[in-house]
Structure 1
Amino acid sequence: MTQPTVAQYALARLAQLGIDRIFGVPGDYAFAIDDAAEQVPGLSWVACANELNASYAADGYARVRGAAMLSTTYGVGELSAINGVMGCKAHRVPVFHLVGMPSERIQRLGLVTHHNLGDTVYDRFQAISGAACCVSAVLDPDNCIDEMERVIREALRQSMPAYIVISEVHGGMPVVGQPVKGKPLAEIKRQRSVDVELDAAVETILSRLAAARKPVAVVTALVARYGLRDQAMEFIRKSNLPVVIMPNDKGTIDEAMQQYSGLYAGGWSSSQEVCDFVRDADLLLDIGGMVLTELNTGLWTDMPNADRVISIQDNWVKAGSKVFLNAAIDDVLAVLVKKVPTRKESGALNVEKFPLAGAASDKLSSTSFYPRLQRRLRKGDTVVVETGTCMTHLNKMLLPEGVTAEGQGLWGSIGWGTPACLGVAMGKQSGRTWLVTGDGSHQLTLNEIGVMGRYGIKPVIFVLNNGIYGVEDVISERGHAYDDLAPVNYHLLPQAFGCKGWLIAKVETVADLDAVLEKIESHPGACYVEVMIPNEESQPLPGSVIDSGYKLRTPKAG
């Protein structure tokens, strides 16, 4: 039996996890990887518009499938992708970044070649790209099989990206040794527990829950990254605990469940009632690890009392001054589901849809747009939330039953949403993918529309056009020229990019939006809608509020 090459083996081994696409941009030093992408059965190459977009798309795909592959060339390619890979690290998304490198023959001869700095230091980029990942390896025929097992194990254990270097010459050589037949991701045990620590952690949680009068659960995005969304919801239903999410966790749980009590973000919560509800809780059960950034806490306007928090992290649990190690989150949830008693009354808050607003002849605004979008979402759909002012509306919007969402509020790289939408749509097996993006974010990566058209992807895209970087105006003064955008006729882009069968529209009034939403309901293909909203909506926050987030003013003496 013919042995696979190093590149073929690496891609085939990753494909066994259930990955059927590899996102990237071709490059000469990565030709062995690019060729293998066409040779490995069941694997398809997705040619993105640039490496940064490819990394964003891989991020979106991995959020649906659990892991993804990204391929770039040496130096110029990998460094172009690094911002997106670093975002995957921040959001705990396992993306395997495969990079082609110049032949070891070139390196051994001390030859100077392109994509370098005019010298013979060929490994200088490995430290940079490796910093965006939790594990790295340089593969050759002898170490390939062993190293791939180590890299896969660690990337999945930590739920973070991995960096894999394959030289152009080694990529075409056969592996040495017996190839490993791997399991699909869903069958892999990613964290392992020490029984005594696990038992003590669970008993502590159960004891504290039993003593609590007003407990509240917070479920974070980490449970989704580890494929535990269903288990977390099973625990919430079994325990009948009221549950909230924070902005970074939008779409993690089914918001139609009766225990769902809204979005908690300090002064930016979905209501003051939600903020008070969490503030008054005598126990906050944090499932996944809350990220207490300024955006998650309303510019730190409310911080949970640490003494009242029990935090279930990926492989450890903290309860007050007690820390339990090697207690894997999947094991903790599994035992809790078996042992937790059901509370008679959940005490959950009632969360309502946004009320419909705006007469047919009214100019569109956020107040009229989001309630109408909310009513068009269906079970199985996913909403991709771009970084920007649209987050503040979408995070508070009650998602219908079975609707999920993906955002990048922690890393917050504008432009992420459009390529991520491509990846999410390619990863999904059913349901629609909806993207809401501001025009400023969209301008950074809108060339990925052409890639969507090429591969027949069918998202529903809303580009909110107010002609400015609206979120920047919110956190600064109005009138800065650097916040103004080039005037683009966005609704003309799909045709210019060669997209076929797309429903394309530009809407300015409530009647326009209602009409196009009706058409979207029955349209079988992709939809692209330019939504005109007034830039006057992006009013600066009060100076005191801005300073609470940026800490620029000299504090008062005394």
Structure 2
Amino acid sequence: MRTTIGEFLLDRLKTVGITEIIGVPGDFNLNLLEQVDEAEGIRFVGTCNELNAAYAADGYARSRGLSALLTTYGVGELSALNGIAGAAAEHVPLISIAGAPPLYATEDRYALHHTMADGNFSDMLASIGQFTAAAVRITPMNAVEEIDRALHTCLREKRPVHIQLPSDISHLTIEVPDTPFDATLPTSDPERLESAAERILEMFGNAQRPVILADLDADRHGFVPALQAIAEKTRTPYAHLSSGRGTLNEQHPLYLGTYNGAGSSPAVREAVENSDFLITTTPRFIEGNSGAFTHQLPEEALLDFGDQHVSIQGEHYVGITVLELLDILLERIPAATSKDLEPAPEQPEWIVQEDSPLTQERMWPRFSRFLRSDDVVIAEAGTSNIGLGAQTFPANSRYINSSIWGSIGFTLPALLGSQLAAPERRHILFIGDGSFQLTAQELSTILREDQAPIIVLVNNRGYTIERFILGMNSGYNDVANWSYGDLPKVFRPDTTMVSYSASTEGELEEALASIEASDAGAFLEVHLDPEDAPAGLQSFGPMTADFDYGPRGPRNP
């Protein structure tokens, strides 16, 4: 079968479930965009800049399982690199495609625009290759092999990959396989699979205090349904790291809470650290999710599910597709025979203090009551993430946050991408004013695409998380106080998005009631004191300062 290189690439993207390519046009990718316009079942969604496009592609992949990003050579690729690196850190599968200079110009080392004008065309691939699982330049001879290799790598490793497509080859015809792309993972080695299953079942049978501790890889590799089912079948309690929020059901009586080393509640810390059979999903401990590295997991009782292996008490079993292993365990593991669990306690009735100014202490519990099952909740790094961190999410909700990379401004474009991937779900974004100003222009794309999210902008006049680390009253932590509520109509004069503003609990109640009664998008600005913060942030700030600056730092002159 014969087709063009561009059509082959687009067909492969459609096969793996991608219906939107997010990016920015440039002269080296316009030829591919012409082919996108002609293709059925896939379209291009342009963003305001390449960094926002990468953030949006990250959000798309978290809700769809895979995404595609399109930039142009050099200036576009490097502009997107922060977002690509964030996807790598957060284990998000993203296919980055860049239109590249013509192949003849590359081979003859032309000095071109968007380059260093030195004839070096390997520098961009080398730069981006540091943050991707594969980075390749396509030629007519390697197109089929390298495109399929990149897609397989992205799906298997749950990391970004990067493909440079020279501008003069997209319309060239090549011979391609007449079989569809197979996205299934390889099967396990039978002996290793059976040996691992037998040993795990033995450990489970002997355990008196089993616990499951989930991190973000449980979501990325599709382990969540099986882990939830195993927990419920065996009555095994479970917790998560703060970087693993939104994985297992937080409304279930088996849910313990968040494990954060010494920063955990005593009950959660006791259950995790004294478990005689602790099941993990390759947790990655940073200072923010480990209580400043105070975590203490019982290594002698540890079972860790990796992406393509399991580790049992330090012994590695390789050659295993873990989803197959989880299916076997769920089938063979004995069901618990203990009495029924007590239902999770209901939240007490919320009593509004009508004229009271909004505070961090009361605002976040109120917002947790506003959330409902199947919501996609997106929280900016800093105040919003920490404020929501103490709350419990509804069942079947998805939580999107840059918990490891922590790039502020990520969430507004991620909201755009997630809504493109899952338009049937209600999306709610919580973002601070400082973070919003980094990527605010992407609100225009959200409105252009007729999306109707609920955006909660926390206006506390600057970088609150930074204030509690250092410089509470310093000008470097201030931002300009925009007329935020006017922006929807600035970006789209005929928008149906409704703006709200709340400074008191009564005003917040009125706004939330109106939002609940409407299908229109909402832009809710809440006003708080710049020196107010969630309790978790008030302790996080000094801890971070001590870690960052040491005993002779500016906090301890």
Question: Does residue 70 of the first structure (1) align with residue 64 of the second (2)?
Answer: no
Residues 1:551 and 1:319: Cα distance change in structure 2 (over 3 Å) = farther
Secondary structure of 2:543's partner? Answer: helix
Q: Distance in 2 between matches of 1:543 and 1:498?
A: 38
State the match for 2:498 in structure 1: 503
Identify the residue that residue 297 of structure 1 maps to in structure 2: 290
1:272 Cα deviation after fit: 3.0
Task: Name the CA distance, whole Å, in 2 between partners of 1:220 and 1:65.
Answer: 19
1:222-278, Cα deviation, whole Å (9 max, x unpaired):
122123322221222122210111111111122222321211112333x33222332
Alignment of 1:235 with 2:230, yes or no, is yes
Report the counterpart of residue 220 of structure 1 in structure 2: 215
1:278 paired to 2:272: yes
Q: Secondary structure at the match of 1:4?
A: strand
Residue 442 of structure 1, CA deviation: 1.1
Counterpart check, 1:365 vs 2:359:
yes
Find the aligned partners of 2:550 and 2:322 in 1 and give their Cα distance: 39
1:450 Cα deviation after fit: 0.1
| Distance apart, 1:374 and its partner CA | 1.6
How far the C-alpha of 1:34 sits from its partner, in A, is: 1.9
**What is the match of residue 545 of structure 1?**
543
Give the drift of 1:541.
3.9
Number of the residue aligned with 2:82 = 83
| Bigger mean CA deviation after superposition, 298-307 or 130-139 | 298-307
Match of 1:493 in 2: 487
Mapped to 2, the partners of 1:174 and 1:467 lie a distance apart of 56
2:519 corresponds to 1:524? yes
Q: Describe the shift of the 1:83–1:191 C-alpha distance in structure 2 as closer, same or farther (beyond 3 A).
A: farther
Q: 1:543 to 1:31 in 2, by over 3 A?
A: closer
Partner-residue secondary structure (3-state), 1:89: helix
Q: CA 1:199–1:313 in 2, change beyond 3 Å: closer, same or farther?
A: same
SS of residue matched to 1:293: coil
CA-to-aligned-CA distance 1:80-115 (integer Å, 9 cap, x gap):
001111111111111100011111222344432110
- Name which of structure 1's ranges 10-19 and 544-553 shifts more when overlaid on structure 2: 544-553
**CA distance in 2: counterparts of 1:354 and 1:132, whole angstroms:** 46
Deviates more, 1:77-86 or 1:166-175: 166-175
CA distance in structure 1 between the partners assigned to 2:341 and 2:302 by the alignment: 18
Provide, for residues 105-152 of structure 1, a one-character-per-residue CA deviation record: whole Å limited to 9, x for no partner: 223444321101122112211111122210122222232122222111
Q: 2:95 & 2:374 partners in 1: Cα distance?
A: 27
Q: For the Cα contact (< 8 Å) 1:129–1:163, is it kept in 2?
A: yes
Name the SS of the counterpart of 2:523 in structure 1.
Answer: strand
Give the structure 1 partner of residue 188 of structure 2. Answer: 193
Unaligned runs of 5+ in 1: none
- Whether 2:245 is the aligned partner of 1:250: answer yes
SS at match of 1:359: coil
What amino acid is the match of 1:141?
A: P
Deviation at 1:180, TM superposition (A): 4.3
Partner of 1:23, secondary structure, is strand
Report the CA distance between 1:343 and its aligned residue: 2.8
Q: Percent identical across equivalent pairs?
A: 28
Distance 2:423 2:520 in 1: 15
Q: Determine if contact 2:299/2:314 at 8 Å carries over to the other structure.
A: no
Q: Which amino acid aligns with 2:231?
A: I
Pick aligned residue for 1:325 from 302, 318, 324: 318
Letter of the 1:511 partner, please give it: G
Give the 3 Å change call, closer, same or farther, for CA 347–320 of structure 1 in structure 2: farther
Secondary structure of 2:531's partner? helix
Mean Cα deviation higher: 237-246 or 295-304 = 295-304
| AA aligned opposite 1:132 | F
Counterpart of 1:467, as a letter, is: R
366-375 vs 59-68, greater mean Cα deviation: 366-375
- Is the CA contact (8 Å cut-off) linking 1:220 and 1:249 kept in structure 2? yes
Aligned ranges 1:339-350 → 2 under 5 Å = 339-345=332-338
Letter in 1 for 2:188: S
Please say which of residues 529-538 and 342-351 is displaced more in the overlay.
342-351
Segments ≥4 residues shifted beyond 6 Å? 346-349
Q: Is the 8 A contact 1:266 1:298 kept in 2?
A: yes
Q: Which residue of structure 2 lines up, in the alignment, with residue 115 of structure 1? A: 114
Q: Deviations over 1:393-421 (max 9, x none)?
A: 21221111222211110111111111001
* 8 Å Cα contact 2:192/2:317 also seen in 1: yes
Measure, in 2, the Cα distance between the counterparts of 1:179 and 1:19: 20
In structure 2, give the amino acid aligned to 1:226: H
**Equivalent residues of 2:54, 2:83 under 8 A apart:** yes
Report deviation, 1:190: 2.6
Among candidates 395, 405, 416, match of residue 410 of structure 2: 416
Could you tell me how far apart the structure 1 residues matched to 2:295 and 2:201 are? 26
AA in 1 matched with 2:366: R
Q: In structure 2, what is the equivalent of residue 463 of structure 1?
A: 457
3-state SS of 1:22 partner = strand
Going from structure 1 to structure 2, the CA distance change for 1:135 and 1:451 (only over 3 Å counts) comes to same
Question: In structure 1, what is the Cα distance between the partners aligned to 2:178 and 2:139?
Answer: 14
Mapped contact 1:145–1:177 kept (Cα < 8 A): yes
Q: How many residues are aligned here?
A: 548
Counterpart Cα distance in 2 of 1:127 and 1:354: 56
CA distance in 1, matches of 2:135, 2:347: 46
Structure 1 residue 544: Cα displacement: 6.8
2:529 paired residue number: 534
Say if 1:468 and 1:483, in contact at 8 Å, map to a contact too. yes
- Confirm or deny: 8 A CA contact 2:24 2:46 kept in the other structure: yes
Contact kept, 8 Å, 2:192 with 2:318, in 1: the verdict is yes
| Paired residues of 1:32 and 1:171 also in contact (CA < 8 A) | yes
CA deviations 1:175-198 (Å, max 9, x no partner) are 234454235xxxx32353212222
Counterpart secondary structure, 1:198: helix
Question: Whole-Å Cα distance in 2 between the matches of residues 471 and 408 of structure 1?
Answer: 15
1:206 Cα deviation (Å)?
Answer: 1.7
Q: Give the aligned partner of residue 148 of structure 2.
A: 149
The 1:109/1:139 distance shift into structure 2, 3 A limit, reads closer
Aligned mates of 1:62, 1:384 — CA distance in 2: 14
Q: Secondary structure at the match of 1:452?
A: helix
Q: Secondary structure at the match of 1:535?
A: coil
Question: What residue identity is the alignment partner of 2:193?
Answer: L
Deviations 1:28-47 (CA, angstroms, capped at 9, x unpaired): 01112222221221111111
Q: Look up the equivalent residue of 1:170 and give its one-letter code.
A: I
Matches of 1:319 and 1:548, distance apart in 2: 36
CA contact (8 A) 1:6 1:139 kept: no
Task: Quote the Cα distance in structure 2 between the aligned partners of 1:498 and 1:429.
Answer: 20
Please tell me whether the aligned partners of residues 379 and 431 of structure 1 are also in contact (alpha carbons under 8 angstroms): no
Instruction: Give a deviation string over 1:476-514, Cα, whole Å, max 9, x none.
Output: 242222111121121111111116100211111111111
Aligned to 1:384, what secondary structure does the other structure show?
strand
Q: Is 1:97–1:161's contact at 8 Å kept on the other side of the alignment?
A: yes
TM-score, normalisation: structure 1: 0.93
Residues 431-440 or 467-476, more deviating: 467-476
Q: Is the 8 A contact 2:470 2:545 kept in 1?
A: no
In 2, Cα distance between the equivalents of 1:484 and 1:522? 35
Determine the C-alpha separation between the residues in 2 that align with 1:357 and 1:83: 43
The alignment's TM-score, normalised by the length of structure 2, stands at 0.93
Q: Is the 8 A contact 1:262 1:351 kept in 2?
A: no
Q: Indicate if the aligned counterparts of 1:354 and 1:398 stay in contact, CA closer than 8 A.
A: no
Taking a change above 3 Å as real, the CA distance of residues 107 and 316 of structure 1, as seen in their structure-2 partners, is closer
Give the conservation status (yes or no) of the 8 Å contact 1:58–1:69: yes
Where does the alignment leave 5 or more consecutive residues of structure 2 unmatched?
A: none
Whole-angstrom distance in 2 between the partners of 1:505 and 1:135: 45
Report if the CA contact (8 A) 2:21-2:70 is conserved: yes
Confirm or deny: 8 A CA contact 2:466 2:541 kept in the other structure: no
Instruction: Measure the CA separation in 1 of the matches of 2:347 and 2:26.
Output: 49
